[in-house]
């Protein structure tokens, strides 16, 4: 007997407009029809259109009960329907149903949907990032829901999963804490602290609440392969220019007719891509950036989302490290194996396509007249975390040779004065009157204020932390390089703001201006009614303890 069908995710809300919202869900069967029923008595209905995710795969590293021994495509179907003719401020029930080829039907529970809120409506917005299936995520989201109740919007500043082409990281990782389960209250993640095990479900958020996301380094897959492991493909991103030069050399064989689509696909496959991320999510678009960078109005918020992230590489200087600062010794004479340091995926330097689009967006009436002007991207402008070093700039490759001309080392330098975020982006945002820059990447909580009053918030100590570097705690930075790479403090220059309400204390009993903990998880909520951003922590070592509001500031 065939088992009854199930949905791979609950439905979730995407791309709301003033009068509609998209409902999206996934199944592991193509099915014959997929329907959203909605409204009073679920009497109205709309059919979904179905596409197959074409890059989702599993391999021996997948955390499944029975992972495949080798790289294997995993067929998953995505269903999307636009629910039309909605009235502002009115929430309706909805439910989805997927009919399998044998006629058996899988149905979701009923949830609620709404179009975009009207200006002036007080909204509750979750500011989160860097989930990556980390241990405290399900606990964090559960506490978010207990604290805030129904959210109106989720803003996620990148790093949704670890390896975007691994399907189980989105849907059904065996530890019970995959991306959708945690944000849909279907997680089952057992967190053990001091010998006590607590099981967290996450929270039923995305079923009722739309989400806008930014691309982090973990949304980007590297060079595509049908055979290499997903982890190695993820780590194998090279700059577009490298793929382009290989393409030009091989063009007569690869593309004798000069088909432009074939050329674009080949270069993307041989450098890096965000295909699975873009296939899973329906997001606003910009003419030059597509889903990768965009601007959108939601209630009183004008939100600009940028594609500001680079590949992450190890700071290690060991001979076998394909790192931030050097190539592996064994690769010195094999450029096809070089990692090219922490290269940037999409330019943001002054004059770049993205920067030029941003200038126009900042000058638009939609932005200028907005009550709240918020910019979200992944890489930190100001941070005490590990990832604020080295500078956010194109790596400068230095090839050392001996007297015979043989390569002895390949190093990368990152001049601080060429940091594109600090040199080009931040002054532009400041001049335009941006009130909040929200970002992630270093897995800690810290905030800063510029002299003119622009707020910077990194709220990424959600699932785990990689530490904060202030005082005696030192980042792993090279000391024998041309540039001086800061081992402590914020290289961006601003001093961190000590939390306004209840800072944690450091080892000397002094208030600590950050939270970087693998026991304490943090979330931030923006209330557009009062303009305040409140941050809360929850100590997972004390499962029955209340959350603590430890910081609050107001956007002006
Ligand atoms: Fe990141």
DSSP notation for 376-387: E-SS-SS-SSGG
Q: Are the C-beta atoms of residues 543 and 198 closer than 8 Å to each other?
A: yes
CA of 471 to the centre of ligand 1 (A): 24
Pair 193, 76 in one domain: no
State whether the Cα torsion 67-68-69-70 is positive or negative. Answer: negative
Is a pLDDT exceeding 80 seen at residue 347? yes
State which of 79, 95, 116 marks the end of a domain.
116
CA of 487 to the centre of ligand 1 (A): 19
State which of 83, 116, 149 marks the end of a domain.
116
Backbone angles phi, psi at 434, to 5 degrees: -60, 135
Residues in CB range of 30: below 8 A, 6 or more apart: 50, 52, 77, 101
Mean pLDDT of 63-88: 97
Q: Could you tell me the pLDDT band of residue 472, with boundaries at 50, 70 and 90?
A: confident
CA of 442 to the centre of ligand 1 (A): 7
What CATH number does residue 527 fall under?
A: 3.60.21.10
The structural domain count of the chain equals 2
Q: Are the C-beta atoms of residues 523 and 140 closer than 8 Å to each other?
A: yes
pLDDT at 2: 74
User: Is 121 within the bounds of a domain?
Assistant: yes
Residues in CB range of 269: below 8 A, 6 or more apart: 223, 224
Is a pLDDT exceeding 70 seen at residue 1? no
User: Is 266 within the bounds of a domain?
Assistant: no
Mean pLDDT of 267-287: 98
Residues in CB range of 90: below 8 A, 6 or more apart: 114
Contacts made by residues 71-74, CB under 8 angstroms, sequence distance 24+ = 71/225, 71/226, 71/227, 71/228, 71/229, 71/230, 74/167, 74/168
Pair 85, 153 in one domain: no
CA of 242 to the centre of ligand 1 (A): 23
CA of 314 to the centre of ligand 1 (A): 13
User: Is 197 within the bounds of a domain?
Assistant: yes
The predicted-structure confidence for 219-262, as pLDDT tens digits, reads as follows: 999 999 999 999 999 999 999 999 999 999 999 999 999 999 99
Is a pLDDT exceeding 60 seen at residue 331? yes
pLDDT at 356: 98
The predicted-structure confidence for 137-186, as pLDDT tens digits, reads as follows: 999 999 999 999 999 999 999 999 999 999 999 999 999 999 999 999 99
Cα 193-196-198 angle, rounded to 5 deg: 85
CA of 514 to the centre of ligand 1 (A): 18
Q: Could you tell me the pLDDT band of residue 511, with boundaries at 50, 70 and 90?
A: very high
The residue segments making up the domain with residue 89 are: 1-116
pLDDT at 312: 98
The continuous run of DSSP H or E covering 269 comes out as: helix 260-269
User: Is 255 within the bounds of a domain?
Assistant: no
Pair 107, 187 in one domain: no
pLDDT at 471: 85
Is a pLDDT exceeding 80 seen at residue 211? yes
Cα 157-352-326 angle, rounded to 5 deg: 70
CA of 440 to the centre of ligand 1 (A): 7
Q: Could you tell me the pLDDT band of residue 420, with boundaries at 50, 70 and 90?
A: very high
Angle (deg, nearest 10), helices 240-254 and 260-269: 130
The continuous run of DSSP H or E covering 276 comes out as: helix 275-280
Give the span between the Cα atoms of 108 and 10, in whole angstroms.
Answer: 6
Give me the chain's average pLDDT, please.
97
Pair 459, 360 in one domain: yes
**Torsion, CA 308, CA 314, CA 316, CA 322, rounded to 10:** -100
Pair 48, 123 in one domain: no
User: Is 254 within the bounds of a domain?
Assistant: no
CA of 274 to the centre of ligand 1 (A): 14
Encoding tokens for residue 118?
């009207």
CA of 405 to the centre of ligand 1 (A): 38
State which of 76, 99, 116 marks the end of a domain.
116
The predicted-structure confidence for 94-135, as pLDDT tens digits, reads as follows: 999 999 999 999 999 999 999 999 999 999 999 999 999 999
User: Is 245 within the bounds of a domain?
Assistant: no
User: Is 127 within the bounds of a domain?
Assistant: yes
């Amino acid at each position: 007997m065939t088992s009854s069908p199930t949905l791979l995710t609950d439905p979730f809300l995407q791309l709301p407009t003033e009068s509609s919202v998209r409902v999206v869900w996934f199944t592991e069967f193509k099915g014959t029809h997929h329907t959203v029923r909605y409204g009073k008595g679920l009497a109205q209905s709309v059919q979904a259109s179905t596409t197959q995710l074409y890059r989702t795969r599993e391999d021996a590293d997948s955390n499944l009960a029975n992972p495949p021994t080798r790289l294997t495509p995993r067929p998953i179907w995505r269903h999307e329907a636009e629910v039309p003719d909605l009235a502002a401020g009115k929430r309706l029930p909805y439910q989805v149903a997927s009919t399998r080829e044998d006629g058996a039907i899988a149905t979701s529970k009923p949830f609620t949907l709404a179009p975009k809120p009207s200006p002036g409506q007080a909204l509750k917005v979750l500011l989160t990032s860097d989930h990556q299936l980390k241990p405290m995520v399900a606990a964090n989201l559960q506490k978010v829901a207990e604290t805030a109740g129904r959210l109106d919007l989720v803003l996620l500043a990148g790093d949704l999963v670890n390896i975007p082409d691994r399907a189980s990281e989105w849907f059904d990782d065996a530890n019970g804490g995959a991306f959708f389960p945690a944000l849909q209250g279907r997680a089952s993640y057992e967190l053990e602290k001091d010998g006590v095990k607590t099981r967290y479900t996450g929270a039923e958020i995305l079923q009722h609440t739309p989400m806008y996301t930014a691309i982090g380094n973990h949304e980007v897959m590297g060079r595509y392969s049908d055979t290499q492991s997903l982890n190695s493909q993820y780590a194998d991103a090279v700059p577009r220019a490298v793929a382009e030069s290989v393409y030009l050399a091989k063009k007569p064989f690869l593309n004798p007719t000069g088909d432009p689509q074939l050329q674009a696909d080949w270069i993307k496959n041989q450098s890096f891509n965000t295909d699975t991320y873009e296939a899973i999510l329906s997001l606003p678009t910009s003419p030059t950036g597509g889903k990768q960078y965009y601007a959108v109005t939601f209630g009183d918020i004008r939100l600009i989302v940028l594609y500001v992230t680079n590949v992450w590489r190890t700071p290690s200087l060991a001979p076998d490290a394909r790192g931030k600062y050097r190539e592996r010794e064994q690769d010195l004479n094999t450029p096809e194996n070089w990692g090219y340091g922490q290269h940037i995926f999409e330019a943001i330097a002054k004059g770049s396509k993205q920067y030029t689009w941003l200038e126009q967006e900042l000058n638009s009436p939609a932005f200028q007249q907005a009550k709240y002007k918020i910019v979200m991207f992944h890489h930190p402008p100001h941070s005490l975390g590990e990832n604020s070093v080295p500078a956010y700039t194109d790596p400068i490759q230095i090839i050392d040779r001996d007297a015979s001309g043989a390569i002895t080392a390949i190093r990368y330098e990152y001049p601080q004065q060429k940091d594109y975020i600090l040199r080009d982006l931040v002054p532009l945002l400041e001049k335009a009157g941006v009130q909040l820059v929200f970002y992630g990447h270093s897995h800690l909580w810290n905030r800063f204020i510029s002299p003119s009053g622009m707020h910077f918030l990194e709220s990424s100590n959600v699932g785990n932390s990689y530490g904060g570097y202030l005082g005696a705690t030192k980042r792993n930075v090279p000391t024998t390089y041309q540039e001086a790479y800061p081992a402590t403090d914020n290289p961006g220059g601003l001093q961190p703001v000590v939390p306004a309400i209840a800072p944690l204390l450091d080892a000397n009993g002094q208030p600590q201006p950050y939270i970087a903990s693998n026991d304490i998880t943090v979330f931030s909520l923006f209330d557009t009614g009062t303009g305040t951003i409140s941050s809360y922590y929850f100590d997972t070592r004390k499962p029955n303890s209340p959350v603590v509001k430890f910081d609050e500031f107001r956007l002006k």
